[in-house]
Amino acid sequence: MLDHPSAWRVIADRLAQIIRPAEPMPLSRWLAENIVLVDGPAAGKMWSAAGAPYLAEIADCLSDDHPCNFVTVRKSQQSGASILALGWCLYVADQEPANMLYAVPGIDALKDLNGGKLQPLIDAWQKKQSVP
């Protein structure tokens, strides 16, 4: 005779699945799985560390479970770090919802960043999330 689980067992198993914390995900992997580039020669493609291999280590230092608590980046323009930073904002929103402040020097730069990178990046991310 088959042994059927009790209702309490089924409920407890399901509840355990729901409340179990997700496995930690390094930011570099999350970016590769979630971020669609919105500008540049790779626009429309997924983010890849192959395009800027030096960013993978920086990204992983920004991961939730990394022991590092201070990250400094010294860079030139057009190095991919701004997409890394914006992707990190989305990572925090997805993995550990919290407030985050992203600062740029001046209202015009903020408008350019929001209209040209941040909002299109958010839109592409949300569109990817809604696809089964």
CA 112 to chain centre: 21
pLDDT higher than 70, residue 132:
no
Whether the CB-CB separation of 37 and 44 falls below 8 Å is answered with: yes
pLDDT higher than 90, residue 117:
no
* Cα dihedral: 119, 122, 124, 126 (round 10): -140
Output the pLDDT for position 62.
93
Whether the CB-CB separation of 80 and 54 falls below 8 Å is answered with: no
Could you tell me the two tokens for 18? 């729901």
Interval 47-79: pLDDT, tens? 998 888 889 999 999 998 899 999 988 887 777
- Residue 125: C-alpha distances to residues 39, 84, 113, 118, 121 (Å): 14, 14, 16, 10, 6
Using 50, 70 and 90 to split pLDDT, how confident is the model at 88? very high
Interval 20-46: pLDDT, tens? 777 888 999 999 999 988 888 888 899
Of all residues in the chain, what percent are helix, strand and coil, respectively (each to 5)? 55, 0, 45
Whether the CB-CB separation of 46 and 131 falls below 8 Å is answered with: no
What does the alpha-carbon distance between residue 62 and residue 80 come to, in Å, rounded to a whole number? 15
What does the alpha-carbon distance between residue 56 and residue 23 come to, in Å, rounded to a whole number? 19
What does the alpha-carbon distance between residue 24 and residue 95 come to, in Å, rounded to a whole number? 9
Quick check: helix, strand or coil at residue 106?
coil
